[in-house]
Amino acid sequence: MASIYRCQIELHDSLYHATREIGRLYETEPVIHNYALCYALGLVDSEKYSTTVPEKDSYRYFCPEQVPKYEEHLTPLNQQEIYITPARSLNHTAILNTWKYANNNYHVEMEKTQKNIPSFGRAKEIAPESQFEFFVISQKDIKDLLPKWIRLGKWMSKAEVTIQPLLKTKVTEGMFTCTHPLNPLDIMFTNQVISYDVVNMPPVSLIQNVQMQGQYYYFEDIKEVKIPVQMAYRFRN
């Protein structure tokens, strides 16, 4: 039986990632993608999980190129039978920050200009003390290997992680609804998805309030939580 951990994140800084760009408004959805969590938790470049990712590809301190390598980096987690779900908000507050900048073409492109026209934008961020929840599914005990503190988002915001092992895990099969956000690519080959709500965000839009047919985990002490079985990282061809 898989070991399942219920994890909570509490923000100690404001969280920003541009889920949507609406004109000059850059909005952060109160959902954290499971790809981002894998990097934040150190699962991608840590030797304790995989030795197949070369050291030069480590993104912990420096990213030499802006080319995503999700399939290359996350496939080793399938081999280790470790899966991280996206994180949903338990409670959060949004804050709106306005920033301004001047036209600096004269500086960047050595162009002459007689005008200094300021421009602006707004960033909708998630405030400190907001809390999120996600699940870790593993075939081995990795509780002591997960970090207590992580960094998230564009600003590398500090966040605290608390981990609770779920002990009374059972598996059954049938029609069920998963209210937790899911990555549709990771479940489409193992469950029959009937209906869902879409959470538009890059690089893969998530789904939530998913009604589906298939096997799922359930827990006697937290009956509202139902998680699909056999989730794994899968990618578009």
Helices (H), the chain: 34-40, 70-79, 105-108, 184-187
How confident is the model over 64-75, as pLDDT tens digits?
Answer: 677 788 999 999
Q: How many domains does the chain have?
A: 1
pLDDT value of residue 176: 95
Residue 83 placed within a domain: yes
Distance (Å, whole) CA 91 – CA 52: 38
The listed range with the strongest mean pLDDT (14-23, 96-105, 176-185) is: 176-185
Residue 184 placed within a domain: no
DSSP E strands, the chain: 3-11, 20-22, 25-27, 31-32, 82-84, 87-91, 94-102, 118-126, 131-138, 149-152, 157-166, 169-178, 192-199, 206-219, 226-228
List, edge to edge, every strand of the sheet that includes 20-22.
Answer: 20-22, 25-27, 118-126, 94-102
How confident is the model over 130-188, as pLDDT tens digits?
Answer: 999 999 999 888 888 899 999 999 999 999 999 999 988 899 999 999 999 999 999 98
Please report which confidence band the pLDDT of residue 220 belongs to, taking 50, 70 and 90 as the band edges: confident
pLDDT for 193 beyond 50: yes
Residue 202 placed within a domain: no
Residue 82 placed within a domain: yes
Residue 233 placed within a domain: no
- Residue 20 belongs to what domain range? 3-166
Residue 188 placed within a domain: no
Residue 155 placed within a domain: yes
Residue 13 placed within a domain: yes
